[in-house]
Structure 1
Amino acid sequence: MWADNASKIDMLSYEPYAELIFELAISERMNPVTIGLLGNWGSGKSTILNLIENKINSCSDKGNIVSIFINAWMFEGYDDAKTALMEVILRAIEENKSISQNLGDKFKKLRDRVDWIRLGGLVLKGIPMMLSLSMGNPLPLLLESIKEIDWKDQKELEKLQNAILKMKDLIKESGQDNVVENIRKFREEFEQLINDSKIDNLIIIIDDLDRCNPDRIVETLEAIKLFLSVKKTTFIIAMDEDVIRYSIKRKYPHIEKDDIDISKDYLEKIIQLPIRIPELSDLEVKNYMLLLICEMFLKESKLDELLTILKEKNIFVKGEIINQNDILSILDLEQSEWDCFKNNMKREDFELQLDVFSRISDIIAATLKGNPRQAKRFLNTFYVRKKLSEIQKLNLDLSLLAKLMVIEYINIDLFRELYKWQLENDGYALALQEIEEEVLKEESGDNQHDNEIDQNSPWLKPIMKQWIKVEPTNLYNYDLRQYFYLAKESIKEKNISSLNLTADERKWVNELCSEELNDTFLEKKVEEFKVNNEIDHPKVVKGIIAKYQHDRRKKLRVLIFLYKHFPDLRKTLEEEIKKMKINEVTLPEITRIITLKNVNAEGYQAIKKHFLEEKKLSNELWEKIESSFNKSKKG
């Protein structure tokens, strides 16, 4: 099994990226600089950060370089991510005794300024804006004014009063009562602290920023720009660019000019050097899956030796496939089997699983969209089911288990259809026989279509034909019950988190489901969605359906607009609309459904008939609303 986090072993050949960023980070000429390591969720950003940190920690000949590794997710529970980040960095410097011993009370001074900035933000959140603009020292006025406000939460009132009183104490000590002045002074004193500490370069590595909520993301970026980006500092920030841009757009609404992209301009001001991790090719995903098998079985020293030899042969640079024979040849098991494997690992199991995944790697790699984390998750699920079968003494064919998992992964609807077929015939999916024979006959060069199979069937799409051809074939001869028993959580409908949506697809689900869009802007957004040919439209529609599984009224609004613009999805959308309960279909919902009359009269009549005849909705109510709607259209 593999942990769903950063790997400490470079099986993706990301070493060149780590080396490049490391050299940029320690370059005196580039300093100060903020480097953005950009890649989608699960693309391997954290692995590269680990490689960079290891390089920094081992570069004793490069001067006095200090690195701080920060997980941005830790700021989620704080009122203010800006000051939380400032505190973490100050604490890390202070805890490094080799550089902090001669800095005296400089840390206290900076911490006081951090407190001032945090408390100032807290106060301004709790009072009317007019008071925040008061000239001079506003604190006496604030203390009087908050007593006049009708506070529903007594704890919030006490929190605000304590903050103001603490600010009062800080003003006495510092002699400054201006937030802007404290920000300016913090930058100056922080830069002086770095100089006095004799640090040549303070490298701050920030991971998991894209897991935070949008406000935290923007606050962290602003803290870097406003407070911390001074001489002798380098920031390396790993981020999913789409998530960051979405957060910026939420914080700073769009300006109605086609030539202005606030999120793009904002990021360019923060990130001086963007480094993008490309998606893995299908071939690279196949190689990665085989290396993950090697990692599970081999001792670390033997795995390092294998990776070193593969790199020396330029396998990764040339884009060559790693096959089972290459791996076995390098390991030379006849001579060194005793020294290769981890405890309890067996050579026959190792070779069997290399063989299994070599055969399915083509098709599974094509569905993983270049994402190494998804490769880990697929393999983890495989090994969970393998272990469960062993505990329950089930006699599984691992090749068949892997093949069924592939269809479960690439097309959950066909997986469920296969489940129904085997359910009808005591475990044997006999309905698959005609489809398999059709595909295998085509493979042999016989293009005669003797079977009455719809050539537009999803079973005959290229990726499914490829799946059918993977050994073992003739699945209708196998009792599949125990395999579906192990996959019973997938037989039921899944929620949005289980749909394996890409970052772009998740973004479209969120944007199309935004309650901030009125109908005019929602229609415009659906039109933009329609012309985006890089998106899997049916998959996004599934995401919308899953997101609104418990709120069908909100879902209906989006489905109506999708129905108008996607003729090929209308049958699916009709079925979803029909799932609405009788108490959910009131005047606004009926009115929306009636708008489909002029889009697709046949589909509209089918929906209407369903609600009137099967759901027993009032025919009189429907006709009354339809009549009123028709009159308004004529008017």
Structure 2
Amino acid sequence: MTEPNLALWSDDPARVDLLSFDAVAKTVADALLDEALDPVALGLSGSWGSGKTTVLGLVAEELEQRGTPSSKVLIIQTDPWRYDPATGAKESLIAEVLGALADEVDRSETKTDKAKKLLGRLVKRIDWAKAIKLAATSSLTLQIPSFDKLVELVKPKAGDEDSVRGLDAFRDEFAELMQSDDLKHVQAVVVLVDDLDRCLPATVVESLEAMRLFLAVPKMSFVIAADEERVADAIRTRFATTRRSDESDLDQHDPATLYLHKIVQTTIPLPALSHFDTQAYLLLLQLQATAAAEHLSALIDRCVQIRRDGGTVDDIGAIDGLAMEDELAFASRLTPLLYEKLSGNPRYIKRFLNDLRVRQSVASRRGITLDPSVVAKLMTLEALMKPEFKLLLGWFAKGEMRNQLDRLEDEAGRPAPTDTAPDADPPTNSDDTDNGDSTARPRRGGRRTLEPPTAATTSGQFTQAMVRWAKLVPPLRGLDLSPYLTLAAGFAGVTLIDESLPERLRDIAANLLSDSKRESASVTDGELEKLGAGDTADLLRHIGRTLRDQPSKQKAGVNAIFRILHCQPEADSDARDALLMLPPSEITIATPMQFKSDEPAKIWSVLTTWKEKVREGAVKRAIESKIKQRGGS
């Protein structure tokens, strides 16, 4: 198996619009440049990972395209989450805006002194505010005047018209700057505010106050990308109010919401991905790194048209030069669960794909040769359905996995194939009914025909979620999942213990099944001879289940069965049943060679059973040769 390429998807804002977010971006741009809304503050609301930052980038691109040298849109991107808390969010936001305006004034062809003087006064005001903020936080250690006295320094002195202390009169001077000749060519200044919902309550409120109280003058616009409810929660915390509006209260009268709506005129919600969006996104993400730019662009355009027409993924059709059957099958396979479990969140989808690639890479380097689609199906259970995955690990620990998966696939309406040579397990002892080990389980090999389709049963043994997961392709019946599940259990910190096996037998079982000769030899014949009949039966049943679920352990497992049998000859029936739990399709050539001519008749009957079940080939010839050595037919 070729080791998968570990190319992960970045969590940075997307540079290519894969989800038709341009429709939202253009709507935002229209509102920002509407003279009737000047000034305006818009909200762009969505949960974390919904694509808000990507949309802000698209808004910036759209505004730049609409601007001209004589009617420029000046774009300022800011992130209050990165502000220095010692300086203050209000002062930091104002300083960023003034810095951008100062650069624009320097580039202006008019170059009057008025704008520069206004900027100088405004900068001094904000510097004074920063100084007060810093002084207040350090007054205890620097032995400077008390905070009350520092506040007095901010107030203008009586009769001092040139005083620039504090933020008094800031808004009037700022409005005058915006209308100055040096900024006449600027039709709008748009401040794109990101990650406000990640900030502490004080930062949230101060940032909003800066926009509303100091910067909301003609030609100024704001887009606040944040989860609106998280921002409202921060306001509630800041002002010590816990009242939320009732869902039935359409007026939303709680103080925090009213406060926010006083600043933000309207909020544009960022829609979660639809079923088609999720499917198309999975397809486009896979092809983004490998498809030629022109092919990817054509596919994106096709998806955009399908969204407008209300079509499905079947309408994508073929694109000349682009092979995407495998990627489309993968997307179709995973979309139902990802759409539901990840709530249409682009970031969560990318994270799932990254986790999947990491797991496939680690599995490959551990020599686990499962098909990537099988790993994807198991990862879906592991990442999105944790209780069900824990149940699967429990089956695996108890050696019940293959039987349970067979039953699960039956209940999912996916019956086992029927071989020309039946491959059912033989009946076990009448007293061995635990976990249905006597259930017939058709195996791989030979010519197969599917049984007529039947509706899924409703035994109630499995949850609906588990049955739904089982319906995902590919089917897992007959596959050796043990190496992957062992790895997954290690990642999850889960200890695989068969709790049905008495604790006094667990060390003996682990050592007997070890690939280490030293560990297997640590179990002495004396210990095995002292086992009671019940313990011997439990131990053999555990080894048999291990052979069934972990065929890679068959050399150690078969050897362990023979060791126990030689120490406990009367356990020949249990030993026979344990050997018959090994799936015939998994038998290696070495296994029949472990049978000795003096084994009891019940043990030799195992070879006769296997002979009827295995395909023609080297293994069957080895079984037939062993039978002839004993004089059988």
Under a length normalisation based on structure 1, what TM-score does the superposition of the two structures give?
A: 0.62
* Matched position secondary structure for 1:11: coil
SS at match of 2:75: strand
SS in 2 for 1:267: helix
**Residue 226 (structure 1) shift:** 1.0
User: AA paired with 1:292?
Assistant: L
Deviation at 1:176, TM superposition (A): 7.5
Amino acid at match of 1:413: P
* TM superposition shift of 1:101: 4.5
Cα deviations across residues 368-408 of structure 1 (Å, max 9, x unaligned)?
11211111111111122223334444322111111011111
Letter in 2 for 1:433: D
* Counterparts in 2 of 1:256 and 1:40: CA distance versus 1, 3 Å: closer
Aligned counterpart, 2:598: none
Unaligned runs of 5+ in 1: 127-145, 334-346, 494-635
Ranges in structure 2 where 5+ consecutive residues have no aligned partner: 1-7, 246-251, 416-451, 496-633
Q: Aligned pair count?
A: 438
Task: Find the partner of 1:357 among 309, 313, 331.
Answer: 331
Map of 2:264 onto structure 1: 271
Q: State the secondary structure of the residue aligned to 2:35.
A: coil
Partner of 2:306: 315
User: In structure 1, which of residues 194, 206, 230 is the aligned counterpart of residue 178 of structure 2?
Assistant: 194
Amino acid at match of 1:212: C
Partner Cα separation in structure 2 for residue 476 and residue 233 of structure 1? 66
Partner SS, residue 49 of structure 1: helix
CA contact (8 A) 1:419 1:491 kept: no
Q: Distance in 2 between matches of 1:178 and 1:484?
A: 73
* 3-state secondary structure, aligned to 2:361: helix
Cα distance in 2 for partners of 1:419, 1:364 equals 22
**What is the CA-CA distance between 1:123 and the residue it aligns to?**
5.8
**Cα distance in 2 for residues equivalent to 1:256 and 1:355:** 48
Match of 1:216 among 203, 217, 220: 203
- Which of 305, 317, 321 lines up with 1:332 in the alignment? 321
From the CA coordinates, give the structure whose radius of gyration is larger.
2
Q: Distance in 2 between matches of 1:7 and 1:465?
A: 36
Change (3 A) 1:460 1:444: farther
Q: 1:492 to 1:205 in 2, by over 3 A?
A: farther
- Give the corresponding residue for 1:116: 128
> Aligned partners of 1:300, 1:125: CA distance in 2, in Å?
53
Identify the match of residue 247 of structure 1 among 231, 234, 252.
Answer: 234
Match in the other structure for 2:628: none
Evaluate the alpha carbon distance shift between residue 275 and residue 317 of structure 1 in structure 2; reply closer, same or farther with a 3 A threshold: same
Provide the rounded CA distance (Å) in 1 between the counterparts of 2:298 and 2:158: 61
Cα contact 2:128–2:154 (8 A) shared by 1: no
Aligned residue for 1:413? 387
State the distance in 1 between where 2:148 and 2:209 align.
23
Q: Contact 1:401/1:483 (CA < 8 Å) preserved in 2?
A: no
Task: Name the residue aligned to 2:44.
Answer: 37
Say yes or no: does 1:55 pair with 2:52: no
How much does 1:481 deviate?
Answer: 2.1
The partner residue of 1:294 within 287, 291, 298 is 287
Q: Which amino acid aligns with 2:79?
A: N
Counterpart in the other structure of 1:98: 107
Identity %: 27
- Give 1:170 shift: 9.3
Amino acid at match of 1:431: Q
Bigger proportion of residues as helix:
1
| Root mean square deviation, CA, Å | 3.4
Contact 1:76/1:212 (8 A) holds in 2: no
Q: Is the 8 A contact 2:132 2:151 kept in 1?
A: no
Distance 2:291 2:148 in 1: 57
Q: 1:352 Cα shift?
A: 3.1
- Alignment-derived partner of residue 533 in structure 1: none
Asked whether the equivalents of residues 123 and 164 of structure 1 are also in contact (C-alpha less than 8 Å), the reply is no
SS in 1 for 2:74: strand
Distance 2:312 2:117 in 1: 59
Task: From the superposition, tell whether residues 309 and 432 of structure 1 become closer, same or farther in structure 2 (CA, over 3 Å).
Answer: closer
Task: Please show how residues 154-233 of structure 1 align to structure 2 within 5 Å.
Answer: 154-155=141-142, 157-158=143-144, 168=153, 175=160, 182-196=166-180, 197-198=183-184, 199-233=186-220
Q: 1:255 to 1:421 in 2, by over 3 A?
A: closer
Q: Distance in 1 between matches of 2:125 and 2:244?
A: 39
**Match for 1:378 among 337, 348, 352?**
352
Deviation of the 1:37 alpha carbon:
0.7
Secondary structure of 2:313's counterpart equals coil
Q: Is the 8 A contact 1:31 1:232 kept in 2?
A: yes
Alpha carbons of 1:192 and 1:488: their partners in 2 closer, same or farther (altered >3 Å)? farther
Which letter does structure 2 place at the counterpart of 1:460? T
Residue 526 of structure 1: aligned partner = none
Distance across 2 between alignment mates of 1:118 and 1:176: 22
Determine if the alignment matches structure 1 residue 70 to structure 2 residue 44: no
1:292, distance to aligned residue in structure 2 (A): 1.1
Q: Which residue is 1:238 aligned to? A: 225
Match of 1:281 among 249, 256, 274: 274
How far off its partner does 1:440 sit?
2.2
Counterpart AA for 1:468: A
Partner of 1:540: none
Helix, strand or coil for the counterpart of 1:36? strand
In 2: Cα distance, 1:415 partner to 1:119 partner: 56
